[in-house]
Amino acid sequence: MLDGMVGTWRSLLLAQAIGQIEAELDLAWARLLSDFDVAHGTADETALGWLVVDNPEEHDWRVVDAALDRLSCTECGVTLARGPATCRRCTYHHELRFAARETDRPNVPPGNEHAIRVSFAVARNRTRYSPRARVGYELLLPDLVAGFLPTTKQAQAAKALINKLTPEECDRVTTFDEVEALTRTRPAL
């Protein structure tokens, strides 16, 4: 399982899900450039990027996330919204991105797209979230991309198990089966 694709991700499945979404972001951005007749690699592209991240409510979240990926933060110098949690400009744009539009793909439960965008944002902004806050999103993302959405009851059951993990275990587990195996005999907190 540990091939080059895993990289910084907790599992190959997560790496593949992130890779698939990033490819979709690239496509969404290419379409926007084409719609606005803007050439790749130009100052116009950067200007369009700022226009998009400053007005996320006018665009699909994939376009907004793609724009963030193409801009550098004017305060910390890192890719916009990916800087340290202490960078106010990155934090501002990270929060503002959630105003972007989300449209469920065909044949998925309502809310699937919202779950994907939140999980994707959490997984790619690890320094902003604790291991316990991240693990559920990161374990779920591959299933969300496949079109699944847990019921509230399922999500609460998963959360109850995750709450029995140590922070180190939260970062180490690669599947919900592992979470279950680790926590089966532990008392509820």
Residue type present at position 20: Q
Does position 53 interact with Zn ion (CB under 5 A)? The reply is no
Residue number, 13 or 80, with CB nearest to Zn ion? 80
Residue 60 sits at φ, ψ, to 5 deg, of -65, 150
Nearer to Zn ion, 73 or 149 (CB): 73
Of 9-17, 57-65, 77-85, 167-175, the segment contacting Zn ion by CB under 5 A is 77-85
Per CB under 5 A, which region of 2-10, 73-81, 139-147, 179-187 contacts Zn ion?
Answer: 73-81
Q: How far is CA 81 from the centre of its chain?
A: 12
Cα 164 to Cα 179: distance, rounded to the nearest angstrom: 9
Q: Collapsing DSSP states into helix, strand and coil, what is residue 101? A: strand
Residue selected from 90, 140, 149, 165 as contacting Zn ion according to rule CB under 5 A: 90
CA of residue 165 relative to chain centroid, distance: 22
Instruction: Indicate whether 73 belongs to the interface with Zn ion (CB under 5 A).
Output: yes
List 6, 33, 71, 76, residue binding Zn ion (CB under 5 A): 76
Report the alpha-carbon distance of residue 83 to residue 124 in Å, rounded: 11
Binding site for Zn ion (CB under 5 A): 73, 75-76, 83, 87, 89-90
